[in-house]
Structure 1
Amino acid sequence: MPPPNRVQISQNQGSIMLAIISAAVKAYSVSKPTLFRRIHGRSLREHFTPTNKKL
């Protein structure tokens, strides 16, 4: 049996990541888009200063 190539390995890693994310969504009762935004570094809306704030 030949060793798996890089494409197969990356597809397997992607499947594992989706399984972990799905489990986290169920465990913490958050939506998938929220979790994806947090994973990619977007912070909470309450931490932003509004652009129309008066000086």
Structure 2
Amino acid sequence: SLVLYVEEAHKLPIKHFTNPYCTISLNSVQVAKTHPREGQNPVFTEEFIF
């Protein structure tokens, strides 16, 4: 299995940080997405197990 931790982002451009999220793709296929967060420095702290 593969365990992936998405922790945080820093200094996102102001025009793009309304509700930032991360998408996770394996072999060009989107397999997961984090919950949207607010702010220019969002903290996700999410774990994905594949």
Q: Aligning the two structures, in what range does the TM-score lie when normalised by the shorter sequence?
A: under 0.3
Normalised by the length of structure 1, the TM-score is 0.20
Normalised by the length of structure 2, the TM-score is 0.20
Considering fraction of residues, name the structure with more helix. 1
- Bigger radius of gyration: 1
